[in-house]
Structure 1
Amino acid sequence: MTGRPNRHIGTFLLIVLGTVLALAGTDLVLPAVPGLPAILGGDLPRAQMVLASFTAGSAVGLLLFGALGARFDQRRLLALSLLAYGLISAACSMSNSINILILLRFVQGAAGSAAAVFAPGLLRKLYGDGGAVGAMGLLGSIESLTPALAPLFGLWLLRLFDWRASFDLLAILSTALAAIVTARHRHLPPMRGLATGGGYWRLIADPCFMRYAISHACTLGALLIFVFGAPTVFTVTMGGTLSDFIIMQMTGIAFFIVIANCSGALGRRFGDETMISIGTAIAAAGGVAMLAYAMAGGRSIHVVSALFPLLNTGLALRGPAGFHRAIVAARGDDARGAALVIVAILLTTSLGTAAVAPFIGLGLPALATGTALVAVAGLVSLALPKLERAAG
């Protein structure tokens, strides 16, 4: 099953919807979180655990499905994952205490992780190595809209109904998608990874795989570290508003969407390795430029917003090709490879955000330092050995 990214559109949409629903597990619920203590008890720190437990569960689920995908039919695992995600979402809606909700959110995050793990390998199988980069670029473009649009839709649901509405919607959509995946089982390419000896440790010990995993995790992690800290920096230390942050974020997303959908064609013309190197270098340059501006005493939100798209541009240029090369470097163990890359992104983002947090009151210099260090680390990791030309 090979072809261009505009073929097999129905199957492609199934894969996209599975990954988007998992992402929406955080963003759709986000607007309801501040009001949960008044309804379910607890306090605001406990309410934040509703978000943190979902992320922790997702990390566990990624590794679990990565291992299962190496042994069992990934199409069936995807359907089971979506069904479990829907049922647990319904259980979240029926929670009567915040502690129960926190526990269920951990399980919900783990249950919904299959789509993110299996999507890269499924797209590679569906379109072949030639079309997979373009398909991943389109997938990334659609996924990038979720953090921007899902909170707005979640706020609308909250105002129209109550906090349960977001969970109810996830339950309905996930259960329906599980039924569709089951019915269209034969339309998805048969997938089962290689249950090779060594498992995850084999990949971690492989410098070629780690080249792509680390560089991708650092490039995306640097972007997310900045995004997570920017609302506080803008509103507390730079005299801006959340509207300024939203404008910056939407501008960056627009850059990402346009460039990511060109990355496949650019890769075919100039080579995937060239796009990975250029994209990683642009992202690192964006982080360093942000740091230089901050250290020079810069406080203009407009300048920061003008520099921010460099991070998005770098990720868009290297992201689809970089993720694809990581899957190829896994040498048949696609599910474990994808799982490790995504876990690396989560760890890089969470550790970087935690490292910056104690200094966030210092404003842009602290945030830019964390962003630049992580982005430059991604560039340095390209010194590790690359795939041989014959490997894809």
Structure 2
Amino acid sequence: MNRGWVTLALVVGSTIVGLMGTDLVLPAVPRMPEALGGDPAQAQLVLAAYVGGSCLGLFGYGVLGDRVATPHLFIGSLFATALLSLACSLAPSMEALIALRAVQGMVAAAPAVFAPGIVNAMFDEENAVRAIGVLGSIESLAPALAPVAGAALLAIGGWQLNFDVMAATAAVLGVLLLALGGVPQVRRRGKGSFMALLRDPVFLRYALSQALVLGGLLVFVFGMPTVFVRVHGGTLTDFIVMQVCGIATFMIAANSATRAVRRYGAEQVIAAGTGIAAAGALAQFLYALAGGSSALVITVLFVPVNTGLGLRGPPGFFRAILASHGDDARGSALVILFVLGAAAAGTALVSPWIEHGTVPVAGAALAFHAISAMCLILLPKLKAEA
């Protein structure tokens, strides 16, 4: 049992490596044009390329999960991530870095595909919701702490050191998992396909609504370092404070989700969390339209978005896995694919207007939240199993 929990902890650490691919690099983005050439719009593509590459990787690992053993894919992904991270630190130009980031995102996607299936195999439904909430809280520390660490690394060794640290972390996790004997094989019950899931309106209800809430939040987060520093005349501290407050709120809400589901039911909690997040996104957009630029107010309005995501995140993700009817790897891959696809598309669309301030960033995020609510209204619910 202790060995199983150690393995699970290393799996969580491996998913954090994927998150480091965006959040550890965020502090360097506003200054990358000075270091590598290009402009702020290209610098935003350093983030979007990684996320877009991750989308392709999620699809690829979902297919390979039927043909290649999970331990081989999982650990191989970590070592490949280490190599690509080193290559990114040696990039000679913005264009080269963007291309390498796309490949880096592709190879780093395996832990995100297989981790939910591992949790589903280890726990019953109630404990799985609790486990996903706890694991989500641990993983959510990465967006809060990685920018702080990234800013420190930027000051110590420049933007290259951020990628060197990511490479070292991925390599160490790979070695530890090898020493421990690998990771469990993700179970699959029966045959499935991506197309079958994409045609299933019940699966799409949970997968799309989950992805659009989180994707909208990520679009906002990816854009705010540049907005705070280059538009509002602030500092990275403004962004870090916003992130820490948001993540702390998410952790509290995520760890309350199990009790809320037990008392009110999963569907009610998912709907309430979606509504709270959408209300926060609307408030952010209206404040931006009014010309507001206070870091304090932006941080306060960021709190309900994270609260809503924290409440709906664990039951929403788990019900998406249940709706995949045993095809855990493809189900989790599609959920995260939708998340990253929304984040990549939103970040790329907003990047040409990033120096116009909060309005385009908050507007894109609000659009995603609104569509998420529509998914819950229009698509059918998961039926209780007899």
1: CA distance, partners of 2:241 / 2:274: 24
Question: Could you list the per-position Cα deviations for residues 9-43 of structure 1 after superposition, in whole angstroms to 9, with x for gaps in the alignment?
Answer: 3122111110011111233234455666777x543
- The residue type paired with residue 385 of structure 1 is P
Q: Secondary structure at the match of 1:326?
A: helix
Residues 69, 193 of structure 1: 8 Å contact kept: no
Task: State how 1:204-353 maps to structure 2 within 5 Å.
Answer: 204-231=198-225, 242-293=236-287, 301-353=295-347
Residues 283, 310 of structure 1: 8 Å contact kept: yes
The alpha-carbon distance between structure 1 residues 191 and 238, as it changes in their structure 2 partners (threshold 3 A), is closer
- The residue type paired with residue 337 of structure 2 is V
Q: Which of 363, 374, 383 in structure 2 is aligned with 1:388?
A: 383
Residue 59 of structure 2 corresponds to residue 29 of structure 1: no
Q: Which of 133, 138, 144 in structure 2 is aligned with 1:137?
A: 133
2: CA distance, partners of 1:156 / 1:232: 17
Question: Could you list the per-position Cα deviations for residues 165-188 of structure 1 after superposition, in whole angstroms to 9, with x for gaps in the alignment?
Answer: 3333323322221122223236x4
Task: Please state how far the C-alpha of 1:239 moved relative to its aligned partner.
Answer: 7.0
Q: What residue is the counterpart of 1:122 in the other structure?
A: 118
- The residue type paired with residue 194 of structure 2 is Y
The alpha-carbon distance between structure 1 residues 298 and 7, as it changes in their structure 2 partners (threshold 3 A), is farther
> Higher mean Cα deviation, 89-98 or 261-270?
89-98
Question: Could you list the per-position Cα deviations for residues 207-246 of structure 1 after superposition, in whole angstroms to 9, with x for gaps in the alignment?
Answer: 0000001111121122223333445555677676554443
Residues 78, 174 of structure 2: 8 Å contact kept: yes
- The residue type paired with residue 58 of structure 1 is S
Residues 71, 193 of structure 1: 8 Å contact kept: no
Q: Which of 56, 59, 63 in structure 1 is aligned with 2:59?
A: 63
Task: Please state how far the C-alpha of 1:8 moved relative to its aligned partner.
Answer: 4.3
Task: Please state how far the C-alpha of 1:263 moved relative to its aligned partner.
Answer: 1.3
Q: What residue is the counterpart of 1:111 in the other structure?
A: 107
Residues 69, 192 of structure 1: 8 Å contact kept: no
Query: TM-score scaled to structure 1, two decimals?
Result: 0.85
The alpha-carbon distance between structure 1 residues 358 and 77, as it changes in their structure 2 partners (threshold 3 A), is closer
The alpha-carbon distance between structure 1 residues 253 and 35, as it changes in their structure 2 partners (threshold 3 A), is closer
Q: What residue is the counterpart of 1:371 in the other structure?
A: 365
2: CA distance, partners of 1:317 / 1:120: 18
2: CA distance, partners of 1:56 / 1:38: 24
Task: State how 1:87-98 maps to structure 2 within 5 Å.
Answer: 87-95=83-91
Task: Please state how far the C-alpha of 1:260 moved relative to its aligned partner.
Answer: 0.9
Q: Which of 188, 192, 209 in structure 2 is aligned with 1:193?
A: 188
1: CA distance, partners of 2:155 / 2:146: 14
Residues 216, 323 of structure 1: 8 Å contact kept: yes
- The residue type paired with residue 145 of structure 1 is L
2: CA distance, partners of 1:159 / 1:366: 30
The alpha-carbon distance between structure 1 residues 13 and 329, as it changes in their structure 2 partners (threshold 3 A), is same
1: CA distance, partners of 2:311 / 2:168: 36
1: CA distance, partners of 2:294 / 2:27: 29
The alpha-carbon distance between structure 1 residues 256 and 193, as it changes in their structure 2 partners (threshold 3 A), is same
The alpha-carbon distance between structure 1 residues 323 and 70, as it changes in their structure 2 partners (threshold 3 A), is farther
Q: Which of 146, 152, 160 in structure 1 is aligned with 2:148?
A: 152
Give me the CA root mean square deviation: 3.1
Q: Secondary structure at the match of 2:124?
A: helix
The alpha-carbon distance between structure 1 residues 267 and 101, as it changes in their structure 2 partners (threshold 3 A), is same
Q: Secondary structure at the match of 1:308?
A: helix
Task: Please state how far the C-alpha of 1:80 moved relative to its aligned partner.
Answer: 1.4
Residues 26, 225 of structure 2: 8 Å contact kept: no
- The residue type paired with residue 333 of structure 2 is A
Question: Could you list the per-position Cα deviations for residues 41-87 of structure 1 after superposition, in whole angstroms to 9, with x for gaps in the alignment?
Answer: 54346655544432222111111111112343222211111122223
The alpha-carbon distance between structure 1 residues 72 and 193, as it changes in their structure 2 partners (threshold 3 A), is farther
1: CA distance, partners of 2:347 / 2:44: 15
- The residue type paired with residue 62 of structure 1 is L
The alpha-carbon distance between structure 1 residues 242 and 35, as it changes in their structure 2 partners (threshold 3 A), is closer
Task: State how 1:42-81 maps to structure 2 within 5 Å.
Answer: 42-44=37-39, 49-81=45-77
1: CA distance, partners of 2:352 / 2:94: 27
Q: What residue is the counterpart of 1:20 in the other structure?
A: 16
Q: Secondary structure at the match of 1:118?
A: helix
Q: Secondary structure at the match of 2:123?
A: helix
Q: Secondary structure at the match of 1:331?
A: coil
Give the unaligned 5+ runs of structure 2. none
1: CA distance, partners of 2:294 / 2:28: 32
1: CA distance, partners of 2:42 / 2:376: 40
2: CA distance, partners of 1:89 / 1:299: 35
Residues 21, 170 of structure 1: 8 Å contact kept: yes
